[in-house]
């Protein structure tokens, strides 16, 4: 295999596997991201997830029958507050991942195993319309309205990374996702739609070391329809489409981007006055290149009010 083809294959492999292990992925499905809330609400979240499935490569590359099994546990928290009299929400997530990838490389069987910290994620969102900053008592009496919000998600290069390895848990770069969202309540129903774009800084030390890897933006569109039976007991049907992400290592041709879609379902279950559990499942619908994963996630949340 020529040096150019090796470099090109390396870019694709790293992009596809990192899409599964790093939190900065367009595959996110997050219902009720811009839902109404009072100020002074704090929450702690612990989540477990398992993703399994194939990795789809450009047919010109020497990769076949690539399968991945990725597990992760994440610890996160957040807090709502008044930001220019609008509702603001700040949150952070620190993930730990482990798993293995196996397949044929130029008709030779290969496999790897990784475990360690993945990249941390931070998010700031603001509900500009429909959810002004309110204390809990005022919020409880307020009617539900259509919400228009925006957010900025930042992924920091805090994950495990070694430029002598092709596949890592960290990305060794920053990623930024500005997003706008609309949430429309209708009785027990909620209809959500978000449009965002992932922007990536260069990785200045890509495999096999000292090479710069760049990646184009990824546009992501999400839609959710949920039905609330009672407080913290709801069911949502989720969908996402994402496109872009061509990557290039200096001296090599750019790889093909993604143009994929996923569907999923999310169930929230109350557990007492302050706790709830969430179960989510999603799977690829159309995958041209990248990860074609089935993902099952379970989370526990503890919510309390710090202001009355």
Give how many domains the chain has, as a whole number.
Answer: 1
| Average pLDDT value for residue range 150-165 | 93
What is the span of the domain harbouring residue 179?
Answer: 3-25+33-305
**Beta carbons within 10 angstroms of residue 85's beta carbon:** 8
Q: Using an 8 Å Cβ cutoff, are 119 and 157 in contact?
A: yes
Which residue in 159, 153, 162 sits closest to 194, CA to CA? 153
The model's pLDDT over 169-203, given as tens digits with 9 standing for 90+, comes to 889 999 999 999 999 999 999 999 999 999 999 99
Which residue in 27, 21, 112 sits closest to 71, CA to CA? 21
The model's pLDDT over 46-93, given as tens digits with 9 standing for 90+, comes to 999 998 887 766 555 556 677 888 899 999 999 999 999 999 999 999
Q: Give the Å distances, CA to CA, from 188 to 86, 127, 184, 243, 286.
A: 24, 21, 11, 32, 31
Which residues touch 127 (CB under 8 Å, ≥6 apart)?
A: 34, 36, 86, 87, 147, 148, 149
- Check which CATH number belongs to the domain holding 112 and give it: 2.40.128.130
């Amino acid at each position: 295999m020529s040096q150019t083809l090796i470099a090109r294959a390396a870019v694709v492999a790293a992009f596809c596997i990192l899409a599964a292990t790093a939190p900065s992925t367009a595959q996110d499905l997050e219902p009720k991201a811009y839902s109404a809330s009072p100020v002074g609400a704090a929450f702690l979240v612990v989540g477990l997830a398992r993703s399994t499935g194939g990795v789809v490569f450009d047919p010109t590359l020497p990769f076949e029958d690539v399968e991945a099994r990725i597990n992760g546990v994440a610890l996160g928290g957040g807090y709502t507050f008044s930001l220019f009299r609008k509702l603001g929400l700040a949150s952070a997530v620190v993930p730990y991942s482990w798993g293995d990838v196996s397949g044929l490389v130029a008709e030779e069987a290969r496999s790897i195993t990784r475990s360690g910290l993945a990249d941390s994620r931070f998010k700031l969102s603001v509900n500009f319309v429909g959810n002004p900053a309110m204390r809990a008592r005022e919020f409880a009496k307020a009617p539900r309205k259509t919400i228009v919000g925006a957010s900025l998600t930042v992924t920091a290069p805090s994950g495990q990374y070694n430029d002598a390895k092709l596949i890592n848990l960290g990305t060794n770069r920053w990623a930024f996702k500005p997003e706008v969202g609309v949430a429309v309540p209708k009785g027990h129903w909620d209809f959500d739609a978000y449009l965002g774009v992932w922007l990536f800084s260069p990785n200045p030390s890509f495999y096999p070391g000292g090479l710069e890897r760049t990646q184009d933006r990824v546009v992501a569109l999400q839609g959710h329809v949920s039905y609330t039976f009672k407080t913290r007991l709801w069911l949502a049907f989720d969908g996402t489409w994402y496109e872009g992400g061509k990557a290039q290592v200096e001296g090599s041709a750019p790889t093909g981007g993604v143009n994929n879609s996923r569907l999923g379902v999310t169930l929230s279950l109350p557990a007492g006055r302050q706790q709830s559990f969430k179960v989510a499942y999603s799977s690829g619908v159309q995958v041209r290149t990248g990860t074609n994963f089935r993902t099952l996630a379970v989370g526990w949340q503890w919510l309390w009010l710090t202001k009355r």
